Amino acid sequence: MRYLPFALLAIAMIYTLVDCVRSDGNHVRAMPKGIWFLVILVLPVIGIVLWFLFGRPQAVPASAAPIARPLAPDDDPRFLSDLAERRRRERAAQQAADRAAERAAAQRAAETPKPEGERPAADPHRDQRPDRNGHNPAQGSAGTGPDEVTGS
């Protein structure tokens, strides 16, 4: 119990020395940072009190000193408006290209002559193979196999 005051003084002194070393030299008040370090070492109790009263940099309220930090691209309004404009232009260019492709396809279709007597293509889903009786369902009822009624 009799070592408690010395332990508390040692802890306070170490904390103060670390605080002094980590402080920004431009913001330390009254004396240069190196002199404050020596004052805290040479006059432990008085140096600690003086450091916290007169030497330690004062905390600046956040509202008093706004921090100018770079904006992320998604936080920058100018970037977002440029991005929206670029998307609009790309969408318009894509629509124009699609319309031009459709016009070109329609023009090619109009210019291609259709041969007369052309049959419509057979239904691809319909079975083209003759059944076991030799009838081809795609050709209708006139098959090439034996007649079912006559058996010939």
- pTM beyond 0.85, yes or no: no
Q: Taking the CB of residue 40, how many other CB atoms lie within 10 A of it?
A: 24
Average pLDDT over residues 101-106: 90
Question: What are the structure tokens assigned to 105, written together?
Answer: 């396809």
Q: Of 118, 141, 139, 144, which Cα lies nearest the Cα of 127?
A: 139
Query: Is 97 a residue whose pLDDT tops 60?
Result: yes
Q: How far apart are CA 122 and CA 84, in angstroms?
A: 49
Q: Which tens digits make up the pLDDT trace of 11-61?
A: 999 999 999 899 888 888 888 888 988 999 999 899 999 988 888 887 765
Average pLDDT over residues 125-148: 58
**pLDDT averaged over every residue in the chain:** 78
Query: Is 152 a residue whose pLDDT tops 60?
Result: no
